[in-house]
Structure 1
Amino acid sequence: MSDRLVGTLVDNRYAVRSKLARGGMSTVYLATDLRLERDVALKVLHPHLATDETFLGKLGQEAKAAAKLSHPHVVGVLDQGNDGGTAYLVMEFIKGHTLRDVIRSKGALPPRLALALIDPVVEGLGEAHAAGLIHRDVKPENVLIADDGRIKIGDFGLARAVTTSTSTGTLIGTVGYLSPELVLGKPADARSDIYSVGIMLYEMLTGQQPYDGEVPIQVAYKHAHETVGPPSALVPGLAAEMDELVQWCTASDPENRPVDGHALLQELRHIRTNLTNAELDLRPPAAVPAGQQNATEIIARTNNPTAALSAFPRPQPPQPSREPHSPYAPHALYPPDDPPDTQYIPYAQDNRNQPAPLSKRAQRKHDRDDEKARSRAAATPVRSLREGNPRRRGVLWAVVLIIIALLATGAGWFFGMGPGSAATIPVVANKSVAQAQQLLSDAGFQSRTNDVFDDDVPSGLVVGSEPAAGTEIRKFQPVALFVSKGPQLFELPTLTGGTLEEAKNALNQAEMALGKVTEQFDDAVAAGVVLAQDPASGTPTRHGTPVNLLVSKGPQPIPVPSVVGMEEDDAVDAIEAAGLKADVLKDEVNDPKVPRGSVAAQSPATGNLTKGGTVTLTISDGPKLVNVPSFIGKQAAEARKGLEALGFKVEVNNVLGGFFGTVRDQDPVDEEVPEGSVITITVV
């Protein structure tokens, strides 16, 4: 479909090429930044937002904050502006697809793939949380997967800018992933993003979201008042750790969730490390329906979700059956308004003498009479209560008071000095496990250990604790010690045999660093190809390790030696000594300057060749023999001209001044001599 912006220039800088997607708050276009000559994603806000000055001010603040966040797993914010009513954000263009596309095509994912896809998302959120940014709209549509495998999360700050600039009665977000506190109008923090991540992980593992409804407010109500079930209910055999991870993230109370993305990332990687291959590669059952596209929505917020739902049909509790019950039924159904201890006695009914059906009017009167009878029966006591003995009541009260006093004393001891008393968690980082456990034990805590990878803390020492050191908790609450397994090692990829550029790309994808690049000549390998790497491929190393590369400069050039004038054998030896090959032509040439058997010419005469290159040699047959004719009796000028035409040099010897100019004698004459020889003529 046509779009008014396609083919136009926004802000005299961004040439809009095509429309990529449309959401609840904006439309995304592929554009070219003419100033920097690069492709960008241009997010143009819908007109009702572009005219809201309050919102535009908030958006500018959020864009500036997001632009300061630079992380490999966060889509970069490059620019923001307003061009004649076209409010826009400019973001890094990621060529690829979204996590929604993966869920839609594959349905439920194996735990290994689900954890691998969500790991960079949580890492990016952790960096954002550390910088004070909250996303507020985490969902598969905002997780971008580039064609080269990079995973990034985008749209930081947009939902927050809209929410903070609109009235308190509205809520911006994607209803399938909203946290309970956002639905109920409470402040949001990093834990709200964690809740959305938990819902997203549930969907990746099961292929569907935990809640659905006919309208968005019904789904929002369930987020606020229900608890997310374990994904193993839909995926039998799923590891208990995955259930615990999802339900930890989606706890209704934010206090029971991970505090931010970094805290969740640590546990997520710990689970990935400790699950077996069978648990990680568990194939879900027959594919469940994949989730639909989830657009960011503006939802009316209410402090009374129950009232908001009153307009929609609600499921009715089961009603007691009017049909005859089996006399052997173990129990009957309870009417919805009766107390649970009301019993209904099953009975057998004889259908043989069943009365004729009552008319509608008679049936209504029968029902009213029956209701009155039941009310009177309920109001009539079945037995009276005696007032009892006053002395006995006094004794009972005394016993009750003593019990209450004992309980209060026990509670005071429990919470004052016993296991329920509060204490501060000591610093255990960089200590051995035994030392850390002893410190916790001395403080009155019970501890458990969890192994984690850490690049900085040596293996076997404690990285930290959860809750963290300095936190005050009750002594009966457990404390988790995170014990370092040392840095997590990854095998280096094979870089040899490819080009230097390919090696750089492979190092970037493996999150390794490029070390020293050395070049050397190699007669067998083309220039620019990697000859060797250090450390070698397959070596287990930590992320960021520099890898040194040895790169070919191609065959080494050899200067061509000059052998013209050298005897043939000496010339061939000189060329071969230089690492070249001599090719001697069979046909020799006459050369008045080069003796016979010597090199008269070579090709190439100068320049460079590579090892084994060929130099062609032409051998001299010496000067050419020419017959000397006689010019005796002829004039000297004629003789000189004729001899020089034959290639001779002429020497004149004048007698008596050469008055007559006639050649009297010539030497040599009438014989063959080498071309260029000197002919002497005597002139009188």
Structure 2
Amino acid sequence: MQELSVDPLVGTTVGERYLVLSKVARGGMSTVYLATDLRLDRNVALKVLHPHLATDNSFLDRLGREAKAAARLSHPHVVGMFDTGNDGPLAYLVMEYIPGHTLRDVLNERGALPPRLALAYLDAVVEGLGAAHAADLVHRDIKPENVLIADDGRIKVGDFGLARAVTTTTNTGMLIGTVGYLSPELVDGAPADARSDIYSIGIMLFELLTGHQPFRGELPVRVALQHLTTPVPAPSTELPGLSADLDELVRCCTEKDPESRPADGYALLEDLRHIRTTLSDAELDFQAPSHIAGTPETGTPETGAPWGRTGNGRTEVVHLATEAIRTEAQQTVLIDNSLLPDDRTQQTKMMGRIHHTTVLPAGSNPAARQGYAGPLSPPEEPAPVLRPSRREAKRAVRSAEHARIRAAEHPLQTLRRGRPRRRFLIWLIVLLVLALLGGGAGWFFGLGPGALAAVPNVQDKTVAQAQALLQDQGFGSMSKDVNDETVQQGLVVTSDPEPGTQRRRFLPVTLLVSKGPVLYTVPAVTGGTLDAAKTALNNAKLALGNVTGQYDEERAAGVVLSQSPTSNTQQRGTTPVDLTVSKGPTPIPVPNVVGKDKDAARKAMNDVGLVPQLAPDTVFDKQVPAGSVVSQDPASGTLSKGSAVTLTVSKGPKLITVPSFIGKQVDKAVQELQQLGFQVKVNNILGGFFGTVRDQNPVNKDVPEGSVIILTVV
């Protein structure tokens, strides 16, 4: 329908900074405007929250924290968060403005996409999610409406933190999200994490490949129940010939148990890109059958499909955003978890009633359509007709089948009329039973054992004390022993789920009880090298302590002699192990035995632990008598025990024949005698005026080298 009124915010300035230019979209949580940042002179998307949220202080505090966290995330595939604030009764967010369209617009226009295009869109979305998950941000509301495609081809994920902020401030029995993409754990009241976004990605991939979501129903709670209980079908069940790898990708993303899904966006991105590179061109360009590819999910709000409205020559996109329970298939809805068990019971009863209702297709005997219970007369013989062609016959069969399906969806009446009063009483009883069941379920999930309660803090408590605290909150418990370095043995380390977590009271809480620190066995390193000991201690999660050197006569230098603590004892991690390492044999100073008798020299060497060895050749020495040590090798320094020292023994001085110099001049005689190794003593008679040797002692004899030769000179 045509919009007659003009939005009052258009043309105004919000926060004394943002000039509102036009209205872009409206959802259940906010209205989005195109605005100009007057301070930075750029276009931005201004998201103004609806009044029921803008007046909730706890929600605004939470939204501010989420917005700050989102603002710290800078990634080319994530819509940037610029600012948040309040202006009187208005609460708003300022985000990056992306001129273009959404992935929902692509689905509405094209229907089912070929795998190459679907994986290309998904690659950018998952990469942006991976960056968010690495920054501890969870989106919680992944859907085609929140995937923005700019006019220049950029792909970005928007609305980080908004769904989480709303969920945190709603009642404990409520959950928020787009019902077609809700993960089972969110439906079941468990907290969301990165794997919840992975589930929504799997649903969106199914929709991109087939053109529709896997679960649909008249009420959002019906769809939520299917997420909880029904496996997501393989896309190839509707697209025969589709690659099995794509079926497997959808399956692993949509496992009911979050532990079986990829851990986060980056883990999924690795699998997705591997599949893109391994699929053949034929598999990537697989085309859906024409009856699927040509039927995108478009329609009116009453049919549960995306919609828009046109007026004044323009189309206003109505984004399907956070809303109370309505019929729009892509709406982000708020669902009471306590309705789900009643809904299962009601669904079973409704299926039973449908199963026992007899419906005749259009064209059946009129008496039967009016509820006639007697015998039916056979139909009259039909007049002969021309035989239709094969194509016309198939078309007639399909038309009849469609007619039967439509008739089954809207039964006119049963074959048994019954009595109006009895039917009224039956319906009254049914309504009373449903009311009692609904009330019982509401009590069970609101105040009874199924209600949500916060897990108390039981850290450093004994098991008995912790169990008492849990019982006070209505929780049962079980215990599990774990190692802990700081908490004393026998006391509770923490609980699973962690303290403060909202949990259904009928679900048990596991107490993690300390059994002390992890102990490691000390390895045996004695006898090995110091380097080998370091490696062994490191592998055993222990540390190298003090290393002390010690002389050892049997172990080479660098060999470990002892360790403390000893091997095969149990120690805490990083406990230091002290080692005593050999420095080799004790060094012995070499004694000086030069000039000693050879026997005395050998004894001196043996006394200190050295081994004396005599040189094979003796030598003349004019100063060292025969039989004594002339030299030793080594002459000094230190040696280890058992080392050898070579001793050279003297033969005494060498014997030289003394020639006669009588009658010769004294100077020449002295010179020649000294050259022969003798010492010369000159005795002058009458002053030695003539300088002639008159007498010599000894003369013409063999005497030891270095002997004194006496010359008498006149």
Structure ranking higher on relative contact order (CA contacts 8 Å, 6+ apart)? 2
Give the TM-score taking structure 1 as reference length.
0.49
Give the TM-score taking structure 2 as reference length.
0.47
| Higher-Rg member (1/2) | 2
